[in-house]
Amino acid sequence: MTLFSPISLRDMTMRNRTVVAPMCQYSSVDGFANDWHFAHLSRFGIGGFGLVVFEATGVVPEGRISYGDLGLWKDEHIAPLARIVDFLHSQGAKAGIQLAHAGRKASTPVSWRGEADLATGEQRAAAGYEHWQPVAPSAVSHDPADPSFQVPLALDKAGIQHIIDGFVAATLRAEKAGFDTVEIHAAHGYLLNQFLSPLSNHRTDEYGGSRENRMRLVLEVTEAVRKAWPEHKPLLARLSVSDNAEGGWTTEDSVVLSRELKARGVDAIDCSSGGFAEGRISSAAAYQVPFARAVKQGADIPTMAVGLLGDVHEANAILENGEADMIALARGALNDPNWPVHAQRALGSKDYSLWPIQARRVSDHDRILGLQVA
């Protein structure tokens, strides 16, 4: 197993094991993908990635992190997403979309827009500005010290069913848009992670208390999505394998959950961590790889490693050592959208078939890449 060996999940075969992780762009109006999203995502297909996963996409409008998030809560969202999917396919890449609900972390500001940028009705309309009341498992703010986060409304049974229905409807639209895989977002302190973690879930009904109860909504969403998603297409789930906080969700919990997800038709786990105000972890190269290794070994399921994995040789060694099955880049992909084709050369390959056809005819690739010939 190496970076440039193919991998098959159900009927989806990726040309290599490089993945673009979901990255929120906060550049949408009313949930619609636009030219920015096309340019941002398409370049990763040109650059040789095996799978490009679109950013956290709201399954219901109130599930967005901000008013600038992508959405898939209405049929009109399908066509602009399909345009990007079609282009990625033309470049040999697979396309995935992360379906999400932000829970109590919803309706937060877009960081680069201040009050002056939203001072008039025209400015707010142009930005698609909206503000709404978030929902969560319990009426507890993500961070009481930060006014960006509101105290959410605790979900009742009807509200929980509304969310499950939203995931199903978005899944059906993702199929119409031509996506090869969908990823259920249960990480980073967003809604499904909020139900999992004792830090945010203070319920006393069947969705709170024991680990089994706290896992209930994630498993119900998974069962509903798997039923709606074509059998031949793979289903992914992203987990914060650990909250990195005392009294929070742990790696052991994630191993147990991953076994249950696998039993319900999830084909791979995207292994991240954190997302709660109480949690802290020091970032360093490959700092989250132990999470991918623990889930892979403990649950016997393919995993995706993510988190400062831009060193080509280290990324390749992670796969060779069997610590994970795929390598995902976010900021590393932004820094170098052509990371896979550069990585392939750095590993000693003289095969330029991963390059787009328009670039393969250039005679001196080594000079263009700034690489030394051995």
Q: Is residue 1 part of a domain?
A: no
pLDDT band at 259 (very low <50, low <70, confident <90, very high): very high
**Tokens 């998974």 sit at which residue?**
222
Question: DSSP label at 21?
Answer: P
Q: Is residue 318 part of a domain?
A: yes
CA distances from 137 to 28, 55, 198 (A): 27, 23, 10
pLDDT band at 360 (very low <50, low <70, confident <90, very high): confident
Residue 277 neighbours by CB under 8 Å, 6+ apart: 142, 143, 145, 146, 189
CB 58 within 8 A of CB 73: yes
Q: Is residue 119 part of a domain?
A: no
User: Does the structure show a pLDDT above 50 at 132?
Assistant: yes
The percent of the chain in helix, strand and coil, each rounded to the nearest 5, is: 40, 15, 45
User: Does the structure show a pLDDT above 90 at 5?
Assistant: yes
pLDDT band at 370 (very low <50, low <70, confident <90, very high): low
Q: Is residue 117 part of a domain?
A: no
**Residue 190 annotated in active site:** yes
CB 50 within 8 A of CB 10: no
Considering only residues 359 and 11, tell me which one the structure prediction assigns the higher pLDDT. Answer: 11
Can you say whether residue 157 is alpha, beta or left, with left for phi > 0 and alpha for psi between -120 and 50 degrees? alpha
**Averaged pLDDT for residues 303-331:** 98
| Residue 256 to residue 218: CA distance in whole angstroms | 13
**Averaged pLDDT for residues 186-193:** 98
Question: Which range of residues forms the domain containing residue 150?
Answer: 7-112+124-369
CB-based burial of residue 184 (10 Å sphere; 0-12 exposed, 13-18 middle, 19+ buried)? Answer: buried
Helices 251-263 and 216-228 cross at an angle (nearest 10°) of: 30
- Give me the pLDDT at residue 366, please: 56
CA distances from 96 to 20, 66, 149, 182 (A): 10, 21, 29, 5
Q: What is the DSSP string of 290-327?
A: HHHHHHHHHHT--EEEESS---HHHHHHHHHTTS-SEE
pLDDT band at 104 (very low <50, low <70, confident <90, very high): very high
CB 241 within 8 A of CB 291: yes
CA distances from 287 to 307, 319, 373 (A): 6, 15, 32
- Give me the pLDDT at residue 121, please: 95
Q: Is residue 374 part of a domain?
A: no
Residue type, 65: I
| Residue from 190, 207, 287, 352 carrying the catalytic annotation | 190
Q: How many domains does the chain have?
A: 1
| Residue 70 to residue 86: CA distance in whole angstroms | 18
CA distances from 153 to 105, 134, 190, 213 (A): 12, 6, 14, 20
- Pick the range with the lowest mean pLDDT from 65-79, 212-226, 308-322, 342-356: 342-356
> What proportion of the chain, given as a percentage, has pLDDT over 70?
96
- Give me the pLDDT at residue 372, please: 45
Q: What is the DSSP string of 132-149?
A: ---EESSS--S-TT-TTS
* pTM for the model: 0.96
Q: Is residue 2 part of a domain?
A: no
Residue type, 112: W
Average pLDDT, the chain: 96
CB 302 within 8 A of CB 326: yes
CATH number reported for the structural domain that contains residue 266 in this entry: 3.20.20.70
Q: Is residue 135 part of a domain?
A: yes
Question: DSSP label at 32?
Answer: B
- Give me the pLDDT at residue 355, please: 92
| Residue 235 to residue 232: CA distance in whole angstroms | 10
Q: Is residue 357 part of a domain?
A: yes
Closest C-alpha to 94, from 6, 180, 8, 174: 180
